[in-house]
Chain A
């Protein structure tokens, strides 16, 4: 059975209670849940409908002409080799770092755990800007692999940390007691237990890479997404952009299919003990120094370089090329950014709950497909999603809500739903369905039981989901430029405005504040992980 990667993580993680092993009741069809989830999936399909309608508007021959030409081969090759290379590197780095901070006695591992997450909060265009202005060789394929790996490896690191933390130490002990070598135990048991989390993280990395624009634009690397932007503004710009986006959707279908096939075998759920038990950390011994050096190097590269370059630009100064007359204050931009991130985070976390419950507790082929369909949106460039919402609100909605905060928040909600779903699914699975039933047998209503038992147990995962969406919103640029209320600036749009005017030292403070705002939830997340670890240890 090919369940989603994260639900496996979840199975590995949560089952600290034996009731988890009891299958959920299947007697009743969860019609309400299916209806709500279908409505959410339909909302997420809005951009896809736009893509199909628009690219047809151009005429089939035009679309075919855009797709079947020599350049497409080059773009496909660029997109595929980048996705494969970065996904592989992120899997290795993310898993390795997670294992070091989670399973060894690495000095200062709590601090490392937080520092290793923060790179996710640095906008990719800031990372690539930092690198390429410091070293000339950072461009093209090499530069893109480097920059993107450092920018998105936390998408693997985070779920693997969670999975290693809650995995059953018993299996490793059994393997070792049967005389299996340490290395083989690591490969077969430890990695096996984390496989779902690794694959889930890789899925997010691959999909996010497909839609990435800012970094590749800056590094001069051409993918389908940079090509979509190149086509905008030209007489057949929108239909061509839509046709190219459909290719992206097709690639992401392949990625989803591959991930589903790779997942799925083997038993990883914790079987026995009711009491949470933590694994004694592996003593690194002579390997301590190399391990410390490796983690330090990663933090310096992923965090130190972009932050250092940004600070250098501020210190170096320059001539302002834009005065403050058309700029907003830092505080105003930060406030709007944080507010948009907050509301989008809440929206996505709420929307993800019914879809996650359906996927985890009532899995069936059709419903599974419904849940998987919601991942497609992650591979669509933000600008296309924003134009789709523009089209439908202006042409069919009498412009109600167009370029207002609520529609922008809905746009973010659509774009980043899969990130929330991953976290919420893992969290819901952590809360055994049996406990809900116990609560109901004690006279609680169905919803009351769910919110008092499941949601409370799942709170940490919901928090993680919220944080991921918040992070992405803070750094989002292209859709924001289309849908943000006229006259309002976010940190990202104000950074872009200065940076595109060539005024780097004016742009730099906005990048720093962006990192600070986005890092807040990362720190909260890190602290939360530490607290649960302490509580258990």
Chain B
């Protein structure tokens, strides 16, 4: 008898557990809820989401993953994605989904908030914030005067064993695309092969690792986007920062501006709410959240540059207006496939 009672109790517990598992979670179908596939850093996204929910009463459920995994997940889901909005660090994943016809058109008033050169040329996604590529170096291992000033010099023999890279990161492709635009296919391939040899001991999976390794003195210098260094500094404290930043020469192809953006899935059943979310991202309020790191009790450690609604950053970074990146358009950056093909040929991917 005791055994039977035990078995029944166990079965009941199992069923209860199963029911409670399926109760929480599950796709959100309520009219006032949107699903966000978030590939942007949480430091940037979370304060925006909270403020949006408070302002509109629309609830946002979030799936976080790397933007490239999410892009493939959405592509695999095809026209039946449960996502309403896709928010990314970089433009190529959005361009890639746009090319597959999976994004719907963004409201023109939203597009108008951001300078046109930071939006999708077709108008299927809107630019939200920007960063710039540069070098992080460890002065104990390499002096500022020994650093290259042109990205071309990364191929020099003298940097063998010193250079750290994250070639798989979506932040590195735009540099390759810029180089390709400046010098053409053959020269880019030669350059990439030399870089591969120089960086072979320090190829990492992401920029957080690159900046961390340089800061710890495990690599002399690396190519990153500026905000990774500011975040590291905020995280470990200025006393533990043993690295510095250095810009490439103005207009050099290594000096590229990367744009973070957001788009709405064509399959979304919450188009109106999703449009409101995009409008909020580029509104004055949204942009001020991005441009005000460490303010108030909600620490947004984004360190990205606001680019819309006339807002400028309050972080102690070089002012946005003084940046002199290589002149390449979003359309020219494309979905990154040419850069990827070359990176593969060079053995970096």
**Which residues on A are within 8 Å of B, measured CB to CB?**
66, 69-71, 74, 136, 139-140, 217-218, 220, 222, 226-227, 229-238, 241, 318-323, 325-326, 336, 339-340, 342-343, 383, 387, 390-391, 394-395, 399, 402-406, 478, 481-482, 484-488, 493, 497, 500-504
Contact = CB atoms under 8 A, between A and B. Distances in A.
Interface in B40-59: 41-43, 45-47, 49-50
30 contacts: A69-B347, A71-B344, A136-B218, A220-B203, A220-B205, A220-B209, A230-B349, A232-B68, A233-B70, A236-B337, A238-B76, A318-B235, A321-B235, A323-B46, A326-B62, A342-B17, A343-B17, A383-B69, A390-B76, A403-B26, A403-B82, A481-B69, A482-B65, A482-B73, A485-B26, A485-B27, A486-B61, A487-B61, A487-B62, A501-B41
A395 B79 CA distance: 9
B26 A343 contact: no
Given A136-B216, A238-B72, A395-B78, A486 B42 contact: no
Contacts of B62: 326, 486-487
Contacts of B69: 229, 232-233, 383, 478, 481-482
Nearest to A227: B349
A486 B340 contact: no
A351 B62 CA distance: 34
Contacts of B63: 481, 486
A404 B26 contact: yes
B236 interface: yes
B25 A486 contact: yes
B178 to A, nearest CB: 18
Given A326-B49, A481-B65, A502-B232, 18 more contacts: A69-B347, A71-B347, A71-B349, A74-B347, A140-B201, A217-B205, A233-B67, A233-B68, A234-B68, A237-B68, A387-B73, A387-B76, A402-B82, A481-B63, A486-B62, A486-B63, A487-B25, A500-B206
A326 B47 CA distance: 9
A503 to B, nearest CB: 6
A218 B209 contact: yes
B194 interface: no
B18 A326 contact: no
A405 B299 contact: no
Interface residues of B, number: 72
Contact of A403 (B27, B45, B231): B27
Contacts of A478: 69
B340 A235 contact: yes
B107 interface: no
B208 A390 contact: no
Nearest to A318: B235
A404 B46 CA distance: 24
* Closest 7 A/B residue pairs (Cβ): A233-B68, A485-B25, A230-B168, A235-B337, A488-B25, A405-B21, A217-B205
Contacts of B50: 325-326
A502 B206 CA distance: 11
A321 B76 contact: no
Contacts of A481: 63-65, 69
A301 B47 CA distance: 40
B77 A394 contact: yes
Nearest to B211: A502
Contacts of B235: 318-319, 321, 502-504
Contact of B25 (A229, A241, A405): A405
Contacts of A399: 80, 82
A136 B217 contact: yes
Contacts of A405: 18, 21-22, 25
A319 B170 contact: no
A74 B349 CA distance: 12
B299 A323 contact: yes
B35 A486 contact: yes
B320 interface: no
